[in-house]
Amino acid sequence: MGHTMAEKLLARAAGKDEVFPGELINAKIDMALGNDITAPVAIKEFNRIGVEKVFDRERIALIPDHFTPNKDIMAAEQAKLMRDFARRHEIVHYYEIGRMGVEHALLPELGIVLPGDVVIGADSHTCTYGALGAFATGVGSTDLAAVMAMGELWFKVPPTIRIIFEGKLPPSVGGKDLILYTIGQLGVDGARYCALEFAGPPITALGMDGRFTISNMAIEAGAKAGLIAPDDITEAYVKDRARRPYQVIKGDEDAPVMAEYHWNVDNMEPQVAAPFSPANVHPVSELKGTALDQVVIGSCTNGRIDDLREAAAILKGRRAHPQLRLLVIPATQAIYRQALQEGLLEIFADAEAAISTPTCGPCLGGHMGILAEGEVSLATTNRNFVGRMGHPGSKVYLAGPAVAAASAVTGTITHPAELGEVN
């Protein structure tokens, strides 16, 4: 009997020949990360443990990205606590504004997380790295403290749900639409404590940026991890970035899974999640005409270069609706520079967008785009709970960069095809 990718990844980290769903294991961690919200709590707990040194200064990443650039004194104190800890313990992977990015875009970009890894992060969207073929999952700050001290953590091996997409992706349909459709079908707890494994021609047709988007939002279906088997596209992305050796691990074709779904995408429209749940998903045509006050293009979900290119192709030669605020936030400094070199930032500026340094910012209602009571935003971010982007009386719709850009032009939720030929 074969084993799934999740089982094989955890077996390697546990030093076992095989593991089975439901089994409790202790696994060595290849990389642990924290941000300016979660790491300070972990650092305080680490100091209470009384350990003098971290388990490995090259296997910890600390990235202030949620409230940075510091929005107030409290945010500045949080960042300073991280900075002081990183300096004291000589943490190699500490990155601040000007050199940083949103953590889940930055770590793959720098080759810090790799295929075959087991990664934990004190942030729920750590599951992003499953797109590389890593078992990556979010944990609490106290778990991060324990890992920083010991370099290992216990897991319950999850069962796997396999999602197989079939057919060919229509125009303006990409990774965000596939994962929103998945969440809409499964619900926010349909994959609770499971590993979601994505496969099929539409998945292999995606570049890494689209794959990261899919794995990023696996948590929105309740999943422990969101995995995509490494292939030539993965290898091309990783080979010149990797900072250490890595091992590609794939699941067996005959591995038993808890459930398997087959969905055809040939006639799929771009998908939009309406308030107040990532599972409240509709084809864009069903929400056409919904008036908007703000559009946000960015975040760890859709702030990568392919996302910015897709948005810029629609916005070129057009302007954001005069009654709407358009925010564009490249996910890392390198993406910002690349967008600058390719002329994308000029397109956004001509469209009268506000262009930000990399930050999580408005995604979590942190800063740089907070909504007032009654305001409505469409965003390429990952959550739209009550009050997620500001006032509890505001609303957030979730969509991919093509729908976001088209909607910014019209001021209402819009299918990109309604604007005619892409520039």
The DSSP result for 256-316, as a single string, is: --SEEEEEE-TTPPPEEEPTT-TT-EEEGGGGTT-B-SEEEEEHHHH-SHHHHHHHHHHHT
pLDDT over 70 percentage in the chain: 99
Is residue 373, in this structure, part of any structural domain at all? Answer: yes
| pLDDT at position 423 | 55
CB 399 within 8 Å of CB 280: no
Mean pLDDT, rounded, for 194-217? 98
| pLDDT at position 228 | 98
Considering the domain architecture, whether residues 307 and 340 belong to the same structural domain is answered as yes
pLDDT at 211 over 90: yes
Domain termination site, one of 262, 288, 306: 262
Considering the domain architecture, whether residues 286 and 180 belong to the same structural domain is answered as no
Mean pLDDT, rounded, for 169-198? 97
- Could you tell me which residues are beta bridge partners of residue 119? 31, 136
Domain termination site, one of 199, 234, 262: 262
Considering the domain architecture, whether residues 43 and 186 belong to the same structural domain is answered as yes
Separation CA 52–CA 102 (nearest Å): 29
In this structure, what CATH number is given to the domain that contains residue 392? 3.30.499.10
| pLDDT at position 50 | 86
pLDDT at 181 over 60: yes
Considering the domain architecture, whether residues 282 and 253 belong to the same structural domain is answered as no
What letter would DSSP give residue 412? Answer: B
Domain termination site, one of 201, 227, 262: 262
Considering the domain architecture, whether residues 295 and 371 belong to the same structural domain is answered as yes
Number of domains in the chain: 2
Mean pLDDT, rounded, for 95-115? 94
Average pLDDT, rounded, for the chain: 96
| pLDDT at position 422 | 61
> What tens digit of pLDDT does each residue of 222-272 get?
999 999 999 999 999 999 999 999 999 999 989 999 999 999 999 999 999
| Range(s) of the domain holding residue 384 | 273-419
CB 102 within 8 Å of CB 299: yes
Question: What is the β-pairing status of strands 271-273 and 281-283?
Answer: antiparallel
Q: Cβ–Cβ contacts within 10 Å for residue 230, how many?
A: 22
Question: What is the β-pairing status of strands 376-379 and 294-298?
Answer: parallel
Full DSSP string of 33-101: EEETTTHHHHHHHHHHHT-SS-S-TTSEEEE--SSTTT-SHHHHHHHHHHHHHHHHTT-SEE--TTT-B
Helix, strand or coil, per DSSP, at residue 196: strand
Considering the domain architecture, whether residues 258 and 279 belong to the same structural domain is answered as no
pTM listed for this prediction: 0.95
Is residue 268, in this structure, part of any structural domain at all? Answer: no
| pLDDT at position 421 | 62
Considering the domain architecture, whether residues 47 and 78 belong to the same structural domain is answered as yes
Mean pLDDT, rounded, for 287-297? 97
| pLDDT at position 9 | 98
